[in-house]
């Protein structure tokens, strides 16, 4: 199969994207696929040219564009199949404020939150600290912080380029972080994440070799595991996702489960969370990549690949 591997781009998650793409490319080559690597740039016409005579695309972008549905919409328009969520599902999942509201509409548990859109006059005085601050449409735990009071909130805001950021201020849940992947309408074994650098699963915890301990299957009760798998499937369905996704959770000390967010293009290095869960379910990294490509091809319907 001739695969267009799309990675890089210009978000602040570029390096994470490129790191995963190099491992994906090696796996695809080992499977006998003909891979064209494409480092996304703002000239989208160059992407269309790179898609010439390709059979499918594999998107390994993080942040915008890529996770916001931009590239998915373009690929749909030119008829090139790809793995993962379509434009609408991608947009819904990346926008935490919107996706949390949709999940709450369906009665699913998510921590209380507030969307901060103005650093001067939009901060409610009734905020209850501590709070977890994170970009509304960011990923990889970049620019996240636990805030204990208004002074820390003001400092955090000043450190960000607020004109380009909406900030989610979310109720801080004191407990354990878990994550659960969905692959082709099946929930994979949940993973318990224990950060070893810092008090939550931040950028360093995610990408430093010794940043976190990730236990799969999660050493929690069978009831909690079952409920997290059930909720992951519900999130996947409600947000209109396809092929695969990963949903993050917090489990408090009373075993109450809270949905944090869904990821439509989760990290895809060999040691990333989704490959780790797939391995526990019997799929090695190359087999996982091949399965995702097969799902992409099988979901094309009557669309025709790019030939001009």
The predicted pLDDT at position 244 comes to 98
- Best mean pLDDT range from 62-76, 161-175, 239-253: 239-253
* Orientation of helix 14-30 relative to helix 285-298, angle to 10°: 90
The predicted pLDDT at position 159 comes to 81
The predicted pLDDT at position 215 comes to 96
- State how beta strands 175-183 and 186-187 pair: antiparallel
State mean pLDDT over 77-104: 97
CB atoms within 10 A of CB 101: 13
The predicted pLDDT at position 306 comes to 46
The predicted pLDDT at position 157 comes to 83
Confidence tier at 124 by pLDDT (50, 70, 90): confident
State mean pLDDT over 212-239: 96
| DSSP structural state of residue 177 | E
Catalytic residues: 13, 140, 207, 246, 248, 261, 263, 267
Q: Phi/psi at 105 (nearest 5 deg)?
A: -55, -30
Structure-token pair, residue 90? 């991608």
What the chain holds in terms of domains, given with CATH numbers, is 2-83+288-298 (3.40.50.20), 91-110+174-264 (3.30.470.20), 113-171 (3.30.1490.20)
Structure-token pair, residue 56? 């499918």
Structure-token pair, residue 193? 């994440």
pTM of the model: 0.89
Average pLDDT, whole number, for the chain?
Answer: 89
Percentage of residues in the chain with pLDDT exceeding 70?
Answer: 88
Question: Does the pLDDT at position 229 exceed 70?
Answer: yes
Confidence tier at 301 by pLDDT (50, 70, 90): very low
The predicted pLDDT at position 141 comes to 56
Q: Are the beta carbons of 174 and 213 closer than 8 angstroms?
A: no
Q: Considering only residues 206 and 258, tell me which one the structure prediction assigns the higher pLDDT.
A: 258
Percentage of residues in the chain with pLDDT exceeding 90?
Answer: 73
Q: Nearest CA to 165 among 135, 208, 198, 131?
A: 135
The predicted pLDDT at position 304 comes to 44
The predicted pLDDT at position 211 comes to 58
State mean pLDDT over 246-270: 96
Q: What is the pLDDT of residues 126-180, one digit of tens each?
A: 788 999 999 998 754 567 899 999 899 888 888 876 555 689 999 999 999 999 9
State mean pLDDT over 273-278: 97
Q: What is the pLDDT of residues 166-211, one digit of tens each?
A: 899 999 999 999 999 999 989 999 999 997 765 654 545 555 656 5
Beta strands (DSSP E) in 212-305 are: 212-215, 244-252, 257-263
Question: Does the pLDDT at position 308 exceed 80?
Answer: no
Q: Rounded to whole angstroms, how far apart are CA atoms 257 and 289? A: 30
Question: Does the pLDDT at position 99 exceed 80?
Answer: yes
Q: Are the beta carbons of 147 and 131 closer than 8 angstroms?
A: yes
| DSSP structural state of residue 47 | H
State mean pLDDT over 266-287: 95
């Amino acid at each position: 199969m001739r695969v267009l591997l799309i990675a890089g781009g210009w978000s602040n998650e570029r390096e994470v994207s490129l790191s995963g793409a190099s491992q994906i490319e090696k796996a695809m080559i080992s499977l006998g696929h003909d891979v064209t690597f494409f480092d996304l740039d703002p000239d989208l016409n160059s992407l269309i040219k790179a898609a010439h005579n390709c059979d499918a695309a594999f998107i390994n972008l993080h942040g915008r564009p890529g996770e916001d549905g931009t590239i998915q919409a373009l690929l749909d328009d030119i008829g090139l199949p790809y793995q993962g969520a379509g434009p609408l599902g991608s947009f819904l999942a990346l926008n935490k404020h919107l996706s949390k509201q949709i999940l709450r509409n369906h009665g699913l548990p998510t921590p209380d939150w507030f969307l901060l859109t103005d650093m001067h006059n939009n901060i409610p005085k009734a905020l209850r600290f501590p709070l977890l601050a994170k970009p509304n449409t960011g990923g990889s735990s970049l620019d996240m912080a636990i805030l204990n009071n208004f002074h820390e909130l003001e400092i955090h805001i000043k450190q960000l380029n607020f004109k380009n950021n909406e900030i989610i201020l979310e109720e801080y849940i004191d407990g354990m972080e878990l994550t659960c992947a969905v692959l082709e309408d099946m929930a994979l074994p949940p993973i318990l994440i224990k950060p070893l650098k810092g008090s939550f699963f931040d950028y360093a915890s995610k990408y430093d070799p010794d940043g976190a301990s990730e236990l799969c299957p999660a050493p929690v009760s069978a009831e909690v595991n079952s409920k997290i798998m059930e909720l992951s499937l519900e999130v996947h369905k409600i947000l209109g996702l396809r092929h695969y996704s990963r949903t993050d959770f917090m489990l408090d000390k009373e075993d109450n489960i809270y949905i944090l967010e869904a990821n439509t293009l989760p990290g895809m290095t060999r040691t990333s969370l989704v490959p780790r869960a797939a391995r526990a379910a019997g799929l090695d990294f190359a087999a996982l990549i091949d399965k995702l490509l097969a799902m992409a091809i099988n979901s094309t319907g009557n669309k025709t690949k790019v030939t001009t």
